[in-house]
Amino acid sequence: MESGTLYYASGEEVHIGDRVQYRGVYATVVVVSNGESYEMAPGYEGESGIDRGVMICDDDGALNSLSDGNDQLVFMDRG
């Protein structure tokens, strides 16, 4: 991605499939949007309208949309 790339507070680029922790709950990044273009995991094509930020699916199946710069989103592993 170009200058619109999203980053975790730790400096890694955000990509779909990343394992993260959000407010102590483990999740997977399923949508990444820089406001103009986006990446989506299969099965999440209907979520293409989100603004700049990420959507995560926690291990219980709950979806959360997070704005860019959310320092509570912690990168754990790249899938």
Number of structural domains in the chain: 1
* Domain membership flag for residue 53: yes
* Domain membership flag for residue 4: no
* Domain membership flag for residue 47: yes
* Domain membership flag for residue 6: no
Q: What is the pLDDT of residue 70?
A: 80
Q: What is the pLDDT of residue 2?
A: 47
Tokens of 26: 């483990």
* Domain membership flag for residue 37: yes
Vertex 24: Cα angle to 35 and 55 (nearest 5): 20
Q: What is the pLDDT of residue 6?
A: 92
Decide if 58 contacts 22 (C-beta within 8 A): yes
The CA distances from residue 33 to 1, 64, 78, in Å, are: 10, 14, 18
Range of the domain at 49: 19-77
Tell me: the pLDDT tens digits for 25-72? 999 999 999 888 889 999 988 776 668 899 999 999 999 999 877 889
* Domain membership flag for residue 13: no
* Domain membership flag for residue 26: yes
The CA distances from residue 32 to 44, 50, in Å, are: 11, 9
